[in-house]
Amino acid sequence: MTGAEYIAEFLRRRGSTNIFLMTGGACAFIVDAIGRNPGMKYTCFQHEQSAAMAADSLWRTNKIVGATVVTSGPGATNLITGIACSFFDSIPTIHITGQVNQNEELNYKGAKVRQAGFQETNIVEMVKPITKYAVKITDHLMLKEELCKAYSIATSGRMGPVLLDIPMDVQQAEVGDYSEVDINSTQKISVPELKSFVNLVNEFFHSGKRPLVLFGAGVGLAGAERETEKWLIDSKIPFVTSWNGMTYFNHESENYCGIIGVYGNRGANFLIQNCDRLLVLGSRLDNRQRSGNATSFAESARVLVVDVDNEELIKYRNNSNYEPGINLDLIALKTAALEIHTPPQDESWNIYWREIKAKYFGKFPSSIPDKYGTISPLEAVCTLNNYLNSDSIIAVDTGACACWVYLSFFRTKQIIFTAGGNSPMGYALPASIGAAIYNPDRQIISINGDGGTQVNLQELQTMKFHNLNIKLVIFNNFGYGIIKQFQDSYSSGRHHATGDGYSQPDFEKVVKAYGIEYHKVEKIEDLREELFSTQGPGVIEIYLHPDTMIEPKLEMGRSIEDQFPYLTDKEYNSAMKFGVNTRRGNRQKKAAPEV
């Protein structure tokens, strides 16, 4: 067995049976070995970035480690944006890069020249900051152990991407028959650890009267979503979520109250600011959740964060209202959730959170569409929501379109995801292709803005060539809407490089040039169910008013409950029944603007 053949068989045995790639000279032996392996397939992308983004989708949709194979130099460096998506969102992926023969490399030249071999690039050092593990295989005897080690690292603890750089001589070398190297990196949670966790959470809740839980993506990544959801429903504790957390439970739950944050549900943000005990399960509380004024987040509460990554707990040590935190793999919730016993809620809190939910949950203001009679993107998402199958998969891009989707999407059993941390334009199309390759019989929706659509537009060819059942939705507001709104607030409405200087093609002509069915939607009545029920690829372009805003949205210097469009003082004061009322205090803390 050659090194290349071993790589192909290793990936097959791990369930990564369709490799996303773009070929090149330095990876040609690996691609050939994949093609000759009867249990393997490969999908050719038009750009390596797209292959990495497609690989990123697979753990989110199938709990499979997505794998890419690319060549050296530009092939490897083109992976970087997609790798970063996986790193920031804790998604395990494995990336195999070909490298030039070692007798051509810098180390054999005796001089510190920039490059010796053709397309030689030190990709390992480039990606180390955005991978859990990156290594160059310099000896074919290392290959078996390093593959097992990398895979184990990617899928254990706080998960993430790994990269192996494999020179062509290692690919061709004989490595012997297939055999596994035992890498034991999984540490079981001890019974005392579980008991300590349960006791701390029980004591935490019993010390307060107004409990709230933040259901983060870490719960689902650990595989504990069902047990956690059941515990929350049975306990009747109100709970909120993050963008990446919202795909792991049914939104029909009586005590689910919405998404928090800068672009969050107004009611969910009010609950954060009025609770007195906030349990955060597997969420890193970045500045899109807490805002630039992080100290104003849950200011009236004690906050207890549970996270698999201890570094995410250390960052709160200067926040006086945060408990020390619990460093624990949230898989513990599969058994521990049954042992968490919460006291009866204070009746005033019980009445309050139910009233807040009734007033703000599922309510979607859209002032520009109301003013001009154009399509509200929030209404369009709700309409689309009604057309989806229960097992549909929805990949969401970035910017304004992501904000509109996450504000208004109502999940029952569907999978909905985006690259929440890195959040690059152009993510949703290749991500939906990855999902469709591994789920050919499911309804796949890709939701994009007009700007993001252009970033990886070339993958329409991949979608068409494989006749994938993807419906690509384009919210066209003729520019970068989220930045235009920022410019309206902080640059006196000067739309440099967002409206002015920005351009787009005629999407209808482009889509039809690829041989894909196209539909234009200029009024909500045109957004019909049959557009999404047909098999095969299709593009639905929804025309919006260029000034369509994200509503509600937090603006600079305010805490998350005080979003634009601003409530009257009467309504705001009524909603701030228990928490710190920032308007009454006339407090304005300096902070970075919220984009």
What pLDDT digit, counting tens, does each position of 264-291 carry? Answer: 999 999 999 999 999 999 999 998 899 8
Residues 152 and 61 grouped into a single domain: yes
Is pLDDT above 70 for 594? no
The average confidence (pLDDT) of the chain is 94
Residues 374 and 344 grouped into a single domain: no
Nearest residue to 481 (alpha-carbon basis) of 579, 379, 404: 404
End-to-end Cα, the chain, rounded Å: 53
The C-alpha angle with vertex 58 and arms to 53 and 59, in degrees rounded to 5, equals 115
Longest CA–CA separation in the chain, Å: 77
Q: Label residue 588 by pLDDT band (50, 70, 90).
A: very low
Q: What radius of gyration, in Å, describes the C-alpha atoms of the chain? A: 25
Single pTM value for the model: 0.95
Say how far apart CA 412 and CA 249 lie, in whole Å: 7
Q: Label residue 186 by pLDDT band (50, 70, 90).
A: low
3-state secondary structure 482-523: HHHHHHHHHCCCCCECCCECCCCCCHHHHHHHCCCEEEEECC
Q: Indicate whether 58 belongs to any domain.
A: yes
Residues 318 and 401 grouped into a single domain: no
Picking from 264-268, 316-320, 370-374, 466-470, which range would have the lowest pLDDT averaged per residue? 316-320
The confidence score (pLDDT) of residue 112 equals: 75
185 vs 519, more confident: 519
The confidence score (pLDDT) of residue 591 equals: 41
Q: Indicate whether 180 belongs to any domain.
A: no
What average pLDDT does the segment 64-79 reach? 97
Is pLDDT above 50 for 589? no
State pLDDT tens for residues 122-179.
999 999 999 999 999 999 999 999 999 999 999 999 999 999 999 999 999 999 999 9
The confidence score (pLDDT) of residue 119 equals: 82
Q: 213 - beta bridge partners?
A: 239, 279
Is pLDDT above 80 for 555? yes
Phi, psi of 66 (to 5 degrees): -70, 145
Can you give the CATH number for the domain in which 352 is found?
Answer: 3.40.50.1220
The confidence score (pLDDT) of residue 386 equals: 96
State pLDDT tens for residues 486-520.
999 999 999 999 999 999 999 999 999 999 999 99
Q: Indicate whether 29 belongs to any domain.
A: yes
Query: Which residues have C-beta within 8 Å of that of residue 228, sequence separation ≥ 6?
Result: 215, 219, 249, 281, 333, 337
Percent over 90 (pLDDT), the chain: 88
Say which residue the tokens 């957004």 belong to: 527
Cβ-contact 412, 250 below 8 angstroms:
yes
Q: Label residue 106 by pLDDT band (50, 70, 90).
A: low
Name the domain boundary from 172, 207, 233: 172
Render the burial of 79-89: b for 16+ CB within 10 Å, e for the rest: bbbbbbbbbbb
Structural domain tally of the chain?
3
Residues 331 and 475 grouped into a single domain: no
365 vs 218, more confident: 218
Q: Label residue 587 by pLDDT band (50, 70, 90).
A: very low
Task: Give the CA distances from residue 568 to residues 414, 486, 535, in Å, rounded to whole numbers and listed in that order.
Answer: 37, 23, 48
Q: Indicate whether 434 belongs to any domain.
A: yes
Domain limits for position 16: 3-172
Can you give the CATH number for the domain in which 418 is found?
Answer: 3.40.50.970
Is pLDDT above 60 for 246? yes
Residues 270 and 206 grouped into a single domain: yes
